[in-house]
Amino acid sequence: ELRVRFTSPHPKDYPPELLSLMAERNNVCNNLHMPAQSGSSSVLERMRRGYTREAYLELIDDVRSTIPDVSISSDFITGFCGETEEEHADTLTLMDIVKYDQAFMFA
């Protein structure tokens, strides 16, 4: 049976129907790479990511409630143009809240 794993999709590409399908199918890996890029809504806006910190955290809650044993990884960019210490701290708190299983970080 073919196994399916999602790699690096944009957070907007996780409709509830996809999450339900992932939870139902044994051949879909319970692993999601959900690139946050930053934990600061203002930095995300400068990056033109199209979502806020709050929307990302809501998606994480939806994922964990639909797929309880999910493993989540992410990408982060630190020192993005004009990033302040407070904005960087927002990223650190996001990482603490989500408790990623793996992360790729770039500076």
* Separation of alpha carbons 51 and 97, rounded Å: 18
Show the tokens assigned to 27.
């051949």
pLDDT tens digits in sequence order for the chain, 107 residues long: 899 887 767 888 888 898 999 999 999 999 999 999 999 999 999 999 999 999 999 999 999 999 999 999 999 999 999 999 999 999 999 999 999 999 999 87
The helix/strand/coil state of 50 is: coil
* pTM value surpassing 0.85: yes
CA 11 to chain centre: 6
